[in-house]
Amino acid sequence: FNIPFVGRVRFFLESGMVVRLAFAVSACIEPDILIVDEALAVGDIYFQHKCMRRIKSLTDRGTTLLFVTHTIETVKRFCKYGLWLESGETRYFGEAGVAAEKYLAFMRMREIEDWQVNEVSAEPLVDETDPSGAPQLVHVAHTIDLADERLFLQGAWRWASVTEAKLPVRVTSDPSACAGFRCTGTQIQLRFLRGPHTRNVRVTVDGCDRVVQLSSPGEHSIATVQLDVAPGDHTVLIRSDDTTPGSDQLYWLGGHVENPAPLVFQRDKAFGLDTGAVERYGTQKGHLTAVQLLDYVSNEPVRDLHYGQRVRLRIHAERTAPAGPRLEFSFIVRDRNRIDLFGTTTVDEGIILDNRATQFVVEFAFDVRLGPGSYSILVAFVECSADLQQRVPLDQVDMACVFTVGFNPQRPVWYVYYEPVEARASVFLPEIPDDPRAEVAKKPLEYPG
């Protein structure tokens, strides 16, 4: 197989174009073995999609693919077997999805070597009591009333109106500004304005700092921060984070304190005994003790689901050693090839957990929007740095639970995942020209003189 002048033309091409040309030459025929070494790392999205379709077409017709890449999801999608090499030595050879997960586990645990935790001072930044011992911070029973001037301890907090809030809000541009209150409850929700030119907020609960990211591009929106704490009395301080570059003001929209009925902590002795091909891993500063998939209404365990059914994923864990300063729970729903479909974390959902607690029960609720098939759920208990740039699993289970979704003829789903959409259409009939004969018939008949 020969293409004239290819050897001459390649000297006038940049390295990326040479790789694209080499892939095109290799893929335009139907080889018995196709070797692809990072070829998809070059080129625009359109070129990459064309390559993907061509590779899929070749493998479907029996071509053996040797695929070298650092893109984990591509390995899971295209390959049946995976080989993980480390320093020239074989670490694992077998199912592609298992090879990918073992490699990821190894890389995540290597981050422990770079793990640096800044100690959080337990010293209150504002004196909570006067010399006589009488508390200065106002006690909030339920709703935070921004009209109560006792909330604002330092700096200037002026009134402002924003389109995202129905009521006036408090805003400050003073880097030393501080507000605070005392409360009794297990759930504290604070609302702030997120968007461009807004400062991040530093929330201190009982002496422990949490920085919440509020500065972001795009349109302004309301950010709800949920702090889940142990039962009892708590002190909350709110300060502007003056380290936010290019940001001007902090907008506080209020919030409230709740005391919902606590979820019951459980230990399942059988949980994690059968971890499958990917071993359970983590620093073991904490342990997942149980994972439950429950029907949202009945709270009964479920395994056979149908499209549209709402479920609860309830995660139980305990901390056995100091960890943090931030703690996070996450889950990922995957298909049978271990390809990630959807998931979330407590941090992404705006939930801040008290890192002094020793037992945790976290619940995620979602609607099943998957097509027929079998699925698994990865669950992780993670410690994070204060800026969330470093994450190390305390305990992670690759297949914490499995479930199936059946076919519903009343609402068939033809894809892996279906998100309900709003559909509308307008239809137009073609314009039919008038029949010329009809025009002739309309004219009066004319007779010669």
What domains are defined for the chain?
6-114 (3.40.50.300), 139-258 (2.60.120.260), 286-405 (2.70.50.60)
- pLDDT higher than threshold 80 for residue 15: no
- pLDDT higher than threshold 90 for residue 158: yes
pTM over 0.85: no
Region 103-124 average pLDDT: 62
How much is the pLDDT for 371?
92
* Phi, psi dihedrals of residue 11, rounded to the nearest 5°: -70, -15
- pLDDT higher than threshold 70 for residue 178: yes
Q: pLDDT band for position 272 (50/70/90)?
A: confident
Region 288-292 average pLDDT: 95
- Residue of 324 and 395 predicted with greater confidence: 395
How much is the pLDDT for 121?
38
pLDDT tens-digit series, residues 355-405: 889 999 999 999 999 999 999 999 999 998 887 888 889 999 989 999 999
When mean pLDDT is compared across 177-181, 201-205, 221-225, 244-248, the lowest value belongs to 244-248
How much is the pLDDT for 7?
54
- pLDDT higher than threshold 60 for residue 129: no
Q: pLDDT band for position 208 (50/70/90)?
A: confident
Q: pLDDT band for position 114 (50/70/90)?
A: low
**Percentage of residues of the chain with pLDDT beyond 70:** 82
Q: Identify which of 307, 313, 316, 337 has the alpha carbon closest to the alpha carbon of residue 412.
A: 307
Q: Identify which of 346, 329, 335 has the alpha carbon closest to the alpha carbon of residue 288.
A: 329
Between the CA of residue 436 and those of 129, 143, 433, 444, 446, what are the distances in Å?
Answer: 97, 78, 9, 15, 18
- 54-58, 133-137, 172-176, 239-243, range with greatest mean pLDDT: 172-176
When mean pLDDT is compared across 5-19, 110-124, 194-208, 317-331, the lowest value belongs to 110-124
Region 240-259 average pLDDT: 82
Region 256-261 average pLDDT: 90
Q: How far apart are CA 67 and CA 99, in angstroms?
A: 13
**Percentage of residues of the chain with pLDDT beyond 90:** 37
When mean pLDDT is compared across 148-157, 198-207, 418-427, 429-438, the lowest value belongs to 429-438
Region 103-128 average pLDDT: 60
Whose tokens are 């009982």? That residue is 206
How much is the pLDDT for 123?
40
How much is the pLDDT for 126?
44
How much is the pLDDT for 183?
94
Q: pLDDT band for position 436 (50/70/90)?
A: low
- pLDDT higher than threshold 70 for residue 4: no
How much is the pLDDT for 132?
38
How much is the pLDDT for 115?
62
Mean pLDDT of the chain: 83
When mean pLDDT is compared across 14-23, 123-132, 140-149, the lowest value belongs to 123-132
- pLDDT higher than threshold 80 for residue 194: yes
- pLDDT higher than threshold 80 for residue 274: no
